[in-house]
Structures are given as C-alpha cells and as structure tokens.
Chain A
Amino acid sequence: DSGVTQTPKHLITATGQRVTLRCSPRSGDLSVYWYQQSLDQGLQFLIQYYNGEERAKGNILERFSAQQFPDLHSELNLSSLELGDSALYFCASSGKNTDTQYFGPGTRLTVL
C-alpha cells in the first residue's frame, strides 16, 4: 500500500457525460500528479499540482481539468467523454522538493 488513495475504483459511463476522479496523496505530500494509462498510449503525464497550484501540464485535453484543494486532495474532471477516454487514471504523490512518486491504485474509466 503506497498511502495514496483514489476513488472510485471503477467508473462506467456514457459518451458525452462528465465524471470526477478523486485522489488523496500520502500524508505530508504536497505534489499530486495525474497520469493516463491506455493500451495504445502507455502511461502519459496529464497534469501536476503542488500545494494547491498548477505546476505542469502534459498531454491533457481541454475537456479535462483538475484542481487541488486546501486539504491537498485532488480531483480530475473529465467532460464530454468519448470512447477513447476509456483508460486507467492514476494519481501519484511526492513530497516537498523530492522526485520519488508513489502511485495510487487507479480508477478504471469505461466510456460506453
């Protein structure tokens, strides 16, 4: 157990819908990273938050957004869902000024 938690574990929804994925970092960690894992694209970095502020953006679609709250948990919002958005979504956390990232168990999103 890495100490990073994610909910829900599974999410099944329809095209055009909107969903919210939640991540709680390890106690004391300030950074939260979101990654998407699909068969064709592998593990891809989406976005990073550090202590409530956006720090880096990767290949994140405009239909996706995220935020980090004062208690440091983070939410990834996916809207206007398409079939191709079906994937595993992982968050990872790291401590202040450290590069070691620990991954949560992931949320499996299925868009029908």
Chain B
Amino acid sequence: GENVEQHPSTLSVQEGDSAVIKCTYSDSASNYFPWYKQELGKRPQLIIDIRSNVGEKKDQRIAVTLNKTAKHFSLHITETQPEDSAVYFCAASKSGGGSNYKLTFGKGTLLTVNP
C-alpha cells in the first residue's frame, strides 16, 4: 500500500521567516495530495491541496509544489506568523474506484513560529 514520509518532524522558525515541509510518497498511482493543519486537540483542517495534473498551487502565504517524477511534494509557508504554529500533515490518495479516496498520512511536522 501507499507509504508517505514527512520531514522534518519538528521545525522552529522566527516570525517572518519561511517554512518548508517535505513529503515523499511511494505509490505512483496517487493523484491527490492535501495538507492539513492541526492545532492541539482540534480537528485536522484542510489548508491546501494539489492534484497530479498540476505542478504548483498557491493560496496567499501558502504554496504547494508537486514533483510526480520524484514522487515528492512540499508545503511552503512564507512570512510566518505565531498563529501558524501547529502540526502539519501531508497526505496522499488515489482513486480506488467506487468513490474510495482514503488518505494515507505522513507522521506530521510540529511547526513553531517564535515571535
């Protein structure tokens, strides 16, 4: 089955700096790659996603890039703010037929933005 590796496990940056989180996946048939932000004790919140027919997607300070050949994708957060502090998860899924889009998650990255 699919395996998703995520690095780093922890990341500490100064406010205003950029943060980059990287993920690799194993199944070349995976075609959907969402990123979730999870604050302590809260639900994972979808912040951005990308599909395999797109190489890059941006939403304000957040961007995601996908390299299908290398089977890796990355989350970029610019101008970080203290409220960006959370655990970030990458995930991968593929259409399994019959509307099956189960997500395989990375282990998460704890991002701390220091004021």
Contact = CB atoms under 8 A, between A and B. Distances in A.
B50 to A, nearest CB: 11
Interface stretch (A12-20, A61-69, A94-102): A94-102
A30 interface: yes
A45 B103 contact: yes
A56 interface: yes
B29 interface: no
Given A2-B43, A55-B98, A99 B32 contact: yes
B43 A58 contact: no
B43 A106 contact: yes
Nearest to B42: A105
Given A42-B108, A99-B32, A100-B34, A90 B101 contact: no
Interface in A40-59: 42-45, 48, 50, 55-56, 58
A35 B99 CA distance: 17
Interface string A19-51: 000000000001101010000001111001010
Interface in B20-51: 32, 34, 36, 41-46, 49
Contacts of B106: 42
Contacts of B103: 33, 35, 43, 45, 92, 101
B43 A101 contact: no
A33 B102 contact: yes
B115 interface: no
Contacts of B44: 43, 90, 103
Give the 6 A-B CB pairs with smallest separation, nearest first.
A99-B101, A43-B105, A103-B43, A99-B32, A56-B100, A45-B102
Given A35-B103, A42-B105, A97-B99, 13 more contacts: A31-B99, A33-B102, A50-B98, A50-B99, A94-B99, A94-B101, A96-B99, A98-B101, A100-B34, A100-B46, A101-B46, A103-B43, A103-B44
